[in-house]
Structure 1
Amino acid sequence: MAEERLISAEEIALYDRQIRLWGIAAQTRMRAANVLLVNIGALSNEIAKNIVLAGVGSLTVLDSETVTALDLGGQFFLEESDIGSNKAEVASLRIQKLNPRVDVSADSSNFRGKTAEYYTKFDIIVATELEVKDLVSINGMCRQYSKPFYAGASIGLYGYIFADLIKHTFSIEREKSNISIKLGPESSTRTILDVIVKKEGPKLKEIVTKQETYKPLSESVQSDNLSKLRPRSMMKVSPVLPAIKAMWKFHEDTGSQRPTTESDLVKFHDLALDACRDLGLPVGILSPEFTTSFARNIGTELSPVAAILGGVLAQDILNYLGQREQPIQNWVIFDGASSEAPIYCL
């Protein structure tokens, strides 16, 4: 990250509660962070609100689109008078008002014209509501310079978060366990690097330092490692996961964002079944009723769903910057109909 800027006494007072929660060093890293938000929508509204109120150093909003009447339903940074204006420019002005101490700027150019060098200016890149080919492209450019990348979308009652933090080292502080902790691999993606034991009053605490290794989106969407789960566990995998892959494939095949006819719905269901097979999952987790419900939610923004996903994604950004707590590895799949948000490692 950029050279850390010292936190003033005024900022310490303002952020007192969260500094008590995760420490001055973590807050200082947040204060130095430059975040890029690609595309402004209901989900990115929530992400921007949360990280700006938490006190990141700067936020750049990148969006070349203009405000339409359809944007007003789920986006609280936009107003009716903004129709016809650039989304990034009008949203950034209102985001700035949330916390004058954060540098908020707008980039009204098209993200498809950006090169990998553009992303070197930022410490974290977040892209929302984009086509999978664009997400893969941005993720690939971020990886050239080891820049952490998040993607996400709210799809009516459903949604997802994807994280590629390349290699991320973090620490967990807790009461000392009676079980001896060994250094080395803890899972297929996680390694324990160090354990420090300290005494706090009558109790012993341990600080466990771990490192997570991530896969890029291009590899993750091809994964079939869920097929290694036990049969009963496979049947519990959220049907939203293959439906998301079907949504991307449907758009790629037809050019349409969402199915509109009965034949479209049949095609969408078949694509979801194909996605199940690609993931190594039993097709029994899907039903035509579910895929129809999911298809009819495509292209809609529901503020409560965006608030939940935006809260989770923003918190993970803050955890990453603070180098505290277990980060997302690497998918959160949200199903508002069942009120579930499982995490899958693909």
Structure 2
Amino acid sequence: MASELMKNGDGEMSKDERKVYDRQIRLWGFDGQNKLRATKVLLIGMQGLGAEIAKNLILSGVNSITLKDHTEVSILDRCSQFLIPRDSEERNRAKASFSAAQKLNPNVKVIVDTTPIEENVDSFVTSFDLVIATECSPSTYKRLSENCRKSNVKIFIADVYGLFGYFYQDVISTHSLYGEVFPNNAEIDTLTSTKKKPQLYYLTSALLKFQSDSNRKPNPDTSEEDIEELKSIIHPQINDSSSDQENKESDVFEEYYGELFCELSPTTSIIGAMVSQTALNTVMNKPVDNYNVFFYDHIEHEGKFHLL
């Protein structure tokens, strides 16, 4: 009977599995859990935000999750990366995260991939049902967005900058591609859209342009120089693109500049939870499809969805 048995490509759900997922089954039913058990996830980037998303998806009971990260563990990971033991001798982030990630739920297949996403062919995403990308360059995000759209693969793109974070989703074909929402490099200085954008859109765009120009995120070791560079990007952008006098004030982000470094755990936990829950709803055919971008501001303790 449907109420007693639950199947996916790997066979029936065991009695122990049903006990593990009992609360979830009560929440979204056997059909919803069955969809999760059939879902193969690619998660790119295993700093603090990636660890939070991995935890949530593994505990939910997806079929498999591939942790993809070619970078080495750094001191910044101590801000929020809880899957990597302090005494770990493994230098690669994905490998160092594997043991703790797998222990969260032995029913989920956890796979490690240490090759850079830039080296994968465009068709790489077709092996997955859901792609979640963090810590990539804006050009890589743009490429992933385009390839997932072509392959009909759902994609979420997310990043955290200190006490601020955002995520973008592409779950229906009528929404704008990532590169259309956040134009790359020089285009960012001459935004001409008449649609009023939220204040945090300009901060996100400036951070992405900084990342494109510098090939890195703002770093606490070069905080003074990085803040000045961000100001030089964001002020012309606001003045050229906004008719809102409040947005034109040069000090509108003054409180934010010193809080954009590292992936801090209060922000990674909230952005990670929002990405995970929205992605799980999408897998279960309950997408938040009237919005495509979410901004979270920990200074104001506020998070909002927007359609851009």
**Please, what TM-score do these two structures have when normalized by structure 1?**
0.77
Residue 5 of structure 1 deviates from its aligned partner by: 4.7
**More displaced 10-residue stretch of structure 1: 156-165 or 317-326:** 317-326
User: What's the counterpart of residue 331 of structure 1?
Assistant: 293
User: What's the counterpart of residue 128 of structure 2?
Assistant: 122
Name the amino acid aligned to 1:219.
Answer: E
Does residue 176 of structure 2 align to residue 215 of structure 1? yes
What CA distance in whole angstroms lies between the structure 2 residues aligned with 1:278 and 1:4? 55
Q: Which structure would you say has the larger Rg?
A: 1
Q: CA 1:89–1:254 in structure 2 vs 1: closer, same or farther (change >3 Å)?
A: closer
Task: Give matches, 1:287-302, under 5 Å.
Answer: 287-302=249-264
Deviation sequence 1:148-204 (CA, Å, 0-9, x none): 11111111110001101134xxxxxxxxxxxxxxxxxxxxxxxxxxxxxxxxxxxxx
Q: 1:342 aligns with which of 294, 304, 308?
A: 304
Residue 225 of structure 1 deviates from its aligned partner by: 9.4
Deviation sequence 1:242-287 (CA, Å, 0-9, x none): 0110112223335563385767545422422343356555352254
Larger strand share, 1 or 2? 1
Deviation sequence 1:304-335 (CA, Å, 0-9, x none): 11101111110011101111253472010111
CA contact (8 A) 2:164 2:267 kept: yes
What CA distance in whole angstroms lies between the structure 2 residues aligned with 1:85 and 1:263? 29
Task: Give matches, 1:18-97, under 5 Å.
Answer: 18-82=24-88, 85-97=91-103
Q: CA 1:264–1:302 in structure 2 vs 1: closer, same or farther (change >3 Å)?
A: closer
User: What's the counterpart of residue 206 of structure 2?
Assistant: 246
CA contact (8 A) 1:127 1:152 kept: yes
SS of the residue 1:118 aligns to? helix
Task: Give matches, 1:263-282, under 5 Å.
Answer: 265-276=227-238, 280=242, 282=244
Task: Give matches, 1:184-195, under 5 Å.
Answer: none
Q: CA 1:102–1:215 in structure 2 vs 1: closer, same or farther (change >3 Å)?
A: same
Q: CA 1:277–1:149 in structure 2 vs 1: closer, same or farther (change >3 Å)?
A: farther
Deviation sequence 1:43-97 (CA, Å, 0-9, x none): 1111111111111110000001111222123110112322552111121221000
Q: CA 1:69–1:278 in structure 2 vs 1: closer, same or farther (change >3 Å)?
A: same
What CA distance in whole angstroms lies between the structure 1 residues aligned with 2:248 and 2:269? 27
What CA distance in whole angstroms lies between the structure 1 residues aligned with 2:259 and 2:159? 12
Q: CA 1:228–1:261 in structure 2 vs 1: closer, same or farther (change >3 Å)?
A: closer
Residue 10 of structure 1 deviates from its aligned partner by: 2.9
SS of the residue 1:97 aligns to? helix
SS of the residue 1:342 aligns to? strand
Name the amino acid aligned to 1:300.
Answer: C
CA contact (8 A) 1:6 1:28 kept: no
User: What's the counterpart of residue 137 of structure 2?
Assistant: 131
What CA distance in whole angstroms lies between the structure 2 residues aligned with 1:341 and 1:226? 23
**More displaced 10-residue stretch of structure 1: 96-105 or 274-283:** 274-283
How many residue pairs are counted as aligned between the two chains? 293
Where does structure 1 lack aligned partners over 5 or more consecutive residues?
168-212
**More displaced 10-residue stretch of structure 1: 113-122 or 248-257:** 248-257
**More displaced 10-residue stretch of structure 1: 129-138 or 269-278:** 269-278
SS of the residue 2:201 aligns to? helix
Q: CA 1:261–1:41 in structure 2 vs 1: closer, same or farther (change >3 Å)?
A: closer
CA contact (8 A) 1:7 1:28 kept: no
Residue 102 of structure 1 deviates from its aligned partner by: 0.3
Larger helix share, 1 or 2? 2
Does residue 218 of structure 2 align to residue 258 of structure 1? yes
